Structure 1
Amino acid sequence: MAEKQKDGWLVDNVKTIVYALLIAGVFRTLFFQPFWIPSGSMKDTLLIGDFLFVNKMAYGYSQYSCEVPIARVSFCPFEGRVLESEPERGDVVVFRHPTQNVDYIKRLIGMPGDTVQVRDGRLFLNGTAVALADGGTFEEIKEAQGPQRREPRCMNGPVGMGGICEKQRLIETLPNGVSHSILNTFDNHTGDNTPLFTVPEDHYFFMGDNRDNSIDSRYLQRAGGVGYLHKDLLIGRADRIMFSSAGKSLFYFWTWRSDRFFKAIE
């Protein structure tokens, strides 16, 4: 009798674990995807080591937005999108890179039919310069950041390790009223002057907030850039930072940025 009870206890616990994993898998597949920020391309909106959940319900579902965790097998093996909702200019979006099997996070700048151009570091949408205001100076310590140990680029370089690394911060206001900060590190950077882009139907144009350190729609896909991004590649909207760690590992509690916990993404 005791052995049967022991076997029954074991079976019940295995079932509980399996059910919990299935529920977590469905939750991750259809509703919210965890995402770690690995690079500085979205500073200072998002910092290396920020952890957030991506709202996968925001724009509907495509084969890329409802993949089974780890396996990268789509739970939605159809073409196009269902329950589709159009993103808004200024949204911070996670999407699948069109030629690389990796997820990127950038800000939506150009809508279908828009013209987009950067001249001398200033963004022009449909021929009109986007409003800019002084946002002061962004400062951070010159040190290796995150698990990949990336070192920040500094406007006031050369800066030794442990020194204060500075970038110019500007507040950019898009035509729909969405304001966000952007960073400038270098004058006459390759992305500071671009051709005139016309965003095709069903495509979007994305840029990183850290303008001199972002591979985005300003660069062609064949050169590793994003180019025009088709709507089916959208995965979801980033709304809020849940946790943040400046260290090599999240277990280094002394590197946690508690002021960024549960911070809304603007």
Structure 2
Amino acid sequence: MREGIEAVRFFSGVIAIWFAWTSIAFATYYIPTESMQPTLEVGDRIIVSKWAYGYSRHSLPLGLGDVLLPDWDGRIGWAEPQRGDVIVLQSPSADLVLIKRVTGVPGDVVEVRDGRLVINGDMVVREQSEMRTYRQHNGIPAVVEVMAFEEELPGGPVHWIYERTDRHPLDDFGPVRVPDGHVFLMGDNRGNSIDSRAQGGPGFVPMANIIGRAETVPFTLERCQRESDLHCPTGRVWRPL
């Protein structure tokens, strides 16, 4: 009898620690699409810090926020996302968890002209590094060629982006002003991302829909084939995003 009670206490403690860990501190998410290439690849597992910006009902695991707090759409927050942050969010337009990069914060005027991102009237600096050819996880054509650029957002970090062309339907957008309490998001794979630019995308995302900030890739299940003349990405594990 005593052993049974001790076992119940032990497993109750494990569950309580897991719930606190995934509710308050960190959570892990799987990357299912190519919208954040080359920063993240299909198969990457990421660590997300839920405490980075504060908490909302979307921070609770297992969908408990919808059960426990159905009428609360606020956020207990002490910080706001900055340009360049990679965030995980609950899409306001669909029942989907998304990961995108913050490219516009409240008050920013964002537009895209001929594939070039413009923030508050200034064209964002980007430098072409190389052409890359890679095999898509799922898609037609099976093999695509992209231009790899280093982009530097105002006040943000330098990060890599992919562009297939500067004539994609989403390569001319705006200008739009980001409203208070919202952020504007884009994927790093600019021609293959349903983001704030796209019809049917998340649009302006309320701060309350943000789950947390993606910090790093602890491991990946991505297994690209080593094929001649095809890019096979490496070097993402345990590096800051």
TM-score range, shorter chain: 0.7 to 0.9
- Any idea what the Cα deviations from partners look like across 1:148-205, whole Å, max 9, x if unmatched? xx24x6xxx674xxxxx43110111111142111101134111011121111111110
What is the aligned partner in structure 1 of residue 131 from structure 2?
137
SS of structure 2 residue aligned to 1:175: coil
Q: Could you state the TM-score of these two structures normalised by the residue count of structure 1?
A: 0.80
**Separation of aligned partners in 2, 1:22 and 1:185:** 47
Asked whether the equivalents of residues 89 and 109 of structure 1 are also in contact (C-alpha less than 8 Å), the reply is yes
After TM superposition, which residue ranges in structure 1, 4 or more long, deviate above 3 angstroms?
70-79, 257-260
1:166 aligns with 2:145: yes
Which of 30, 55, 62 is the aligned partner of 1:69?
A: 62
Larger radius of gyration: 1
Q: Where do 1:186-225 residues align within 5 Å?
A: 186-220=165-199, 224-225=200-201
Q: Where do 1:35-46 residues align within 5 Å?
A: 35-46=29-40
Asked whether the equivalents of residues 68 and 75 of structure 1 are also in contact (C-alpha less than 8 Å), the reply is no
Q: Where do 1:1-266 residues align within 5 Å?
A: 7-65=1-59, 67-69=60-62, 71=64, 73=66, 78-140=72-134, 142=135, 145=137, 150-151=138-139, 159=143, 165-220=144-199, 224-247=200-223, 259-265=235-241
- Any idea what the Cα deviations from partners look like across 1:75-110, whole Å, max 9, x if unmatched? 667442214211111100111100212211000001
- Runs (5+) with no aligned partner, structure 2: 225-232
**Separation of aligned partners in 2, 1:75 and 1:26:** 16
Go from structure 1 to structure 2 and tell me whether the alpha carbon gap of 1:39 and 1:190 turns closer, same or farther (over 3 Å shift). same
Q: Could you state the TM-score of these two structures normalised by the residue count of structure 2?
A: 0.87
**Separation of aligned partners in 2, 1:68 and 1:211:** 30
What is the aligned partner in structure 2 of residue 4 from structure 1?
none
**Separation of aligned partners in 2, 1:98 and 1:84:** 22
Go from structure 1 to structure 2 and tell me whether the alpha carbon gap of 1:179 and 1:258 turns closer, same or farther (over 3 Å shift). closer
**Separation of aligned partners in 2, 1:263 and 1:74:** 36
SS of structure 1 residue aligned to 2:191: helix
Asked whether the equivalents of residues 64 and 74 of structure 1 are also in contact (C-alpha less than 8 Å), the reply is no
- Any idea what the Cα deviations from partners look like across 1:242-263, whole Å, max 9, x if unmatched? 1111159xxxxxxxx8843322
Asked whether the equivalents of residues 56 and 73 of structure 2 are also in contact (C-alpha less than 8 Å), the reply is yes
- Runs (5+) with no aligned partner, structure 1: 1-6, 160-164, 249-256
Q: Percent identity?
A: 35
RMSD: 2.3
- Any idea what the Cα deviations from partners look like across 1:218-244, whole Å, max 9, x if unmatched? 024xxx211111111111100111111
CA shift, 1:72, in A, is 5.1
* Residue type at the aligned position of 2:215: D
